[in-house]
Amino acid sequence: MTTFQRTDSNNPDFQDLVKLLDEYLAILDGDEHAFYAQLNKIVNINHVVVCYLDGQPIGCGAFKEYNDHTVEIKRMYVNPAYRGKSIGFYILRELELWAAELNYSTTILETGKRQPDAIRLYEKAGYTRIKNFGKYENVENSVCMSKDIS
């Protein structure tokens, strides 16, 4: 059975999944990994979703407030053994529902051009590309996206 737990960044399963995510991204990002790593700290994230299959953690995602109306989706990851089964889509949907419950109206996110599977997931979920925001503004590898969740 698949379940979703709303938690925070102190959750040890989330921390373990993020370690796997960071190892994966270090390979994809190469020399740019240090730049991205500084933007992906998980300390004090209050809105985390961990996905469990039969009690085993298999994926995660989080969001942080970007401004009064917008949250930024962060730290999306699904264990490679469970990819292609819409797990990421359902984690993302749970994050969007939670953000909407907290009266946010928009989600934004950043992913990399070297992550075509992630880009396809976000497009399938209704995200559209936007101008790169914040610290990603002049980053060639970054793809920024947004979705109205109101």
- Model pLDDT for residues 65-111, shown as the tens digit of each residue: 999 999 999 999 999 999 999 999 999 999 999 999 999 999 999 99
C-alpha 87 chain-centroid distance: 12
Torsions phi, psi for 99 (to 5 deg):
-60, -40
* pLDDT tier for residue 43 given thresholds of 50, 70 and 90: confident
* pLDDT tier for residue 124 given thresholds of 50, 70 and 90: very high
Domain boundaries, the chain: 2-148
The model's pTM is 0.91
Show contacts of 145-148: CB within 8 Å, 24+ apart.
145/108, 145/109, 145/110, 145/111, 145/119, 146/106, 146/107, 146/108, 146/109, 147/96, 147/106, 147/107, 148/105, 148/106
Average pLDDT, the chain: 92
Tell me the CA end-to-end span of the chain in Å, nearest whole number: 30
Measured CA to CA, the distance from residue 91 to residue 97 in angstroms comes to 10
Q: Is 2-148 a CATH 3.40.630.30 domain?
A: yes
Beta-carbon contacts of 93 under 8 Å, excluding residues fewer than 6 positions away, are 125
* Residue whose pair of structure tokens reads 């051009």 in the numeric block: 113
Pairing of strands 47-53, 56-67: antiparallel
